[in-house]
Chain A
Amino acid sequence: MKSILYMFTRTIKNSIVDLYYHPLRLTMYIFIILCVIGGAFSALSATKYMTNEVLDIHILKGAYTILIYIISIPVILKSVESENNFFKMSDVVNIFVAPISEKKILIYGVGRQLLTMVLFVISFLSYGSIAVKLFNISAFNALVLVLGIILMIILVQLVTMMIYSVCSGNLKRINIAKYIIYFIVFIPLALATVYFFNRGVSIDGFGETFSLPFLNYVPIFGWLNGLVFGIIFKNNIEIIIYSILIILFIICTITLFKISKIDYFEDVLQRTQSFYETMNDYKSGKITDSMMLGNKKIKVNKIGIGRGKGANTVFFKHITEASRRSRVIFLNINTVVLLITFALIGFGIKATDVNYDWKRLLTIFLMIVIGSYIQFFFSTIDDWIKELNKPYIYLIPENPFKKLIMASMTSLIKPFIDGVISFTLAGIVFGLSITDIIIGMAVYTSFGFVYNSANILTQRVIGLTGSRGIMVTLYMAIVTIMILPGVIIAVMMLVNMFVSGKFYLSIYAGIPVSIWNTVVSIIMYALCRNVLNNIES
C-alpha cells in the first residue's frame, strides 16, 4: 500500500508542478476556484437580496433526487459490467502485476475516482447560491445539499466496491446484480413518472412527485435524500432513521469487502485497454467509430457497399457504416435527444398560462434555438472527420473538392432529416403552423451546414496535429463568427416586429438566418476545397 500511496501523492504533486508549464490550464483552474469561492460567498450573502418570489422547496427536493440519480446510476451500472474507467493503462501494466493485493488496488482505483468526482462536484458549488436565492434556504442548508452529494459519491464508490466483490467476473452474479439494480432504481422511478403524468405535467407536480414518501425508501438514493431533507426540514426522526440505515450500509459493505475473494483484473483489463486507445485518439483530436460504439457487438447482415464510383464511393461507404451503427440510417442518439428536448419544451410551455400566440412563438423559438445548440455538440463526430485519421481519403485519385463534398454528404443530410422529423412531429403534437415547421426545419438544417463547414475550416487551420482543446475553442469561435451576421439581421427584424406590434410574424426572422447560414457555408466549403489534398491542408 505504501507504494500505491507514494505513486498517488507523487502523481498529484507532479500534476500540480506540471501546471507551471501549462499556463492556460492553470488559468482555467484558478478561474474555477474563483467561481467556487464566488459561489460560496454569493450563497452566504444571497438572503440579503431575497425577493418575494420563492419557489416551493419540494421542487428543489425533486431536482435533488434527479441529480443524485444522474450522478450515481451510470457509475453503478458501469461497475456491474466492470466498465468503470478508474484504472489507467499504466496501472494495468505496473500495478496489476506488482505484488499488491487486488483489494488494495481496488481501493486505490475507487479512491481516485472518488477524489475526481468530489472535485467535479465542488466545481459546481456556485450553483448552491442559485438554490439559496430560488428556494429561500439558508447557506447552511445549501452546504448540506453539497455535502449530501459528496456523501452520495462516497456511497456510490462503496456500492462499486461491493459489486466488484460480489460479482468478481461471475456472469451469473453480474446478471443478478443488474436485475437487482434495475429493480431498486427503475421501478420507483417508473412509478414516480406515471404519477407525474397522471397528476398533470407542471412544475409543482414535479416537486410533488419527487417528494413522494416511497422514494425515500429506495436504498441509498432515497436514504440519502431523506437524510439531507430531514436536516433541511429539521425532522429529527428522519435524520435518525436514515443516518442509521446509511451507517449500517457502510458497515455491511466494508465487512463484505473484507471477507470476499475478488478477481476482477481480467474484466477491467480489456475495458482499460480500449478506453486508453479511445482517450489517446480523443486527445489527439481523432474521432473513431469505436469511440462511440465502445464494445458494442456489430451484426453484419448484408455484405458489400454495393454502389459508387470514384469520390461518391465515400458517401456510399458511410451509408454502409451507418447501417451497421444503427438499424435506421441517419436516426441516432442526436434524433432521440432532439425529440425529447422538443417534447420537454412543448409540454413545458403548454403548462404555462400565456396566450396561444405567445405559446406558439415561444415553442418554435425555443425549439429552434435549443435544437440548433444541441446539434452543435453532435456535429463534431461527423463521418468525414473520421476519414481524416486514415490515409485513404487523401490517396483516392479524385478531385479533393469532390471528395470533400462526398465525404461530408451524410453530415449535410443528417440535420435535414433530423429537422424534418423533429419539427414535423412537434408541429403536429403542439399545433404549430406549417410556416413555423418549414422555417424551423430550414433554420435547424442551415445550422447543420454551418457546423459542418466550421468543422472543415477548423481542420484546415489546425490540421490533425492540433490538440482537442484548441480545436474545440477555434471551432466555437468560427461558428460564432459565421452565424453572427444572420443572427444580427434576425434580431433587428424581431425588434422591428415587436415595436410595430407584429410579434406574431416573428418566425419570419428565421428566413434570413437560414439563408445567411447556407450562403456562408457554401463560401466556406469553396474556400476549403483543397482540405483533402493532404493531411496538412
Chain B
Amino acid sequence: MLSVSHLTKKYKKSVANEDITFMVEPGEIAVLAGPNGAGKSTAIKCIAGLLRFDGEISICGYQNKDIEAKRLLGYIPEIPAPFELLTIWEHFEFIARAYRLENWEDKAVELLDRMELRNLRNKLGKELSKGMQQKVSICCALLINPKVVLFDEPFVGLDPHAIKELKEMIVELRNNGTAIVISTHMLDSVSEFWDKVLIMMYGKIQAERTRNSVEESGEDLEKLFFSITEGR
C-alpha cells in the first residue's frame, strides 16, 4: 500500500507540489493525470525517494526512504537511463544482485519475451533505441516483484505491441495485489484499467475520482479534466 500525506515539494522560487494527499491500496491503479508542468513527475520522484520533500510518504508501512521500502518499490522513470556499457541481460543481473534477489532468471526471461527483447539480450545499453531503453527500464523495475510500482509516462516511446503487453502487465500486477501509480497526460491510454484518478494542476490535486463514483454519477472524466486544466 502507498500512502502520501501532505506532500509538498518546493524549489528555490517555485512550489512544484503543494499539500498532496492520497492513498493507493494493494490491487489498485491510481492515475496522476494533468498537463505538462502540473507536478506529476515531481510527485512520482518524491514517492520514489529521489527528491527531498515535506510531508509523509509510506510504502507498505515503511517510510519511503527506508531500505525496506526501497526493496518493495519499482520505479519506471519518464526518461529511461540504461547503463551504456552493460548488456540488457546484465542490467537484470545488476538489479538482481543489488536487490539480493534469488532465482530471478526465469522471471527475467519471461520479461524479455513479453517485451520482445530476447534476441537483444546481449546488446549494450548504448546501442538501444529510446523505445528499447524504456522496455529495459520497465523490466528492471518489475524484476524485483515490487509491491508498489510507479510509472512515469510509461507508454511514451513504446511500440504498439509493447504498449499492449505493458497494459496487460499492469492489470496482472493489480490482480496480484500491487499498488500502482501511473503518471500520464493522456487519459485515453489508461482508460481501460484505472481505478482512481487524481487530476493535478499547478502542483495540487484538483480533483479525485474513483471508477465507481464516475460510473455511478455518469460524470464525463474528459470533460472534468479539461474543465480543470483549461478552466472551461
Contacts and interface: CB of A to CB of B under 8 A. Distances in A.
Interface stretch (B85-93, B159-167, B178-186, B204-212): B85-93
A288 B75 contact: no
B126 A290 contact: yes
Interface in A304-319: 304-305, 308-311, 313-314, 316-317
Contacts of B95: 392
Given A320-B85, A390-B81, A534-B52, A398 B122 contact: no
B84 interface: yes
Q: Is chain A's binding surface mostly helix, strand, loop or mixed? A: loop
A213 B140 CA distance: 64
Contact of A398 (B67, B84, B90): B67
Contacts of B93: 304-305
A536 interface: yes
B84 A288 contact: yes
Contact of A309 (B65, B85, B89, B100): B100
A533 B65 contact: yes
Interface in B88-132: 89-90, 93-95, 97-100, 122, 124, 126
A397 B122 contact: no
Nearest to A535: B50
A252 interface: no
B31 interface: no
Contacts of A397: 67-71, 99
A412 to B, nearest CB: 20
Interface in B69-84: 69-71, 73, 75, 77, 81-84
A399 B81 contact: no
A391 B67 contact: no
B49 A309 contact: no
Contact of A290 (B67, B84, B100, B122): B84
A187 B48 CA distance: 59
Given A397-B67, A536-B51, A314 B83 contact: no
A463 B100 CA distance: 28
Contacts of B48: 391, 394-395
B72 to A, nearest CB: 8
Given A317-B83, A320-B85, A324-B85, A394 B49 contact: yes
B70 to A, nearest CB: 4
Contact of A308 (B77, B82, B97): B97
A308 B97 CA distance: 6
A56 interface: no
Given A303-B89, A395-B73, A389 B50 contact: no
Given A290-B84, A395-B75, A536 B97 contact: no
Given A289-B85, A303-B89, A305-B93, A398 B50 contact: no
Contacts of B45: 535
A300 interface: yes
Given A395-B73, A397-B70, A534-B65, A309 B97 contact: yes
A164 to B, nearest CB: 27
Contacts of A320: 85-86, 90
A305 B51 contact: no
Interface string A398-413: 1100000000000000
Interface of B: 45, 48-52, 65, 67-71, 73, 75, 77, 81-87, 89-90, 93-95, 97-100, 122, 124, 126, 140
Please give me the 8 A-B residue pairs with the lowest Cβ-Cβ distance, nearest first. A397-B70, A313-B97, A397-B71, A321-B85, A289-B84, A390-B81, A313-B98, A324-B85
Given A325-B85, A397-B69, 19 more contacts: A293-B126, A298-B85, A303-B90, A303-B122, A308-B97, A308-B98, A310-B97, A320-B85, A320-B90, A390-B81, A390-B83, A391-B75, A392-B94, A392-B98, A395-B49, A395-B50, A396-B70, A397-B70, A534-B49
18 contacts: A288-B84, A289-B84, A289-B126, A298-B124, A310-B98, A313-B94, A391-B48, A394-B49, A394-B50, A395-B49, A395-B50, A395-B70, A395-B73, A399-B67, A533-B49, A534-B50, A536-B51, A536-B52
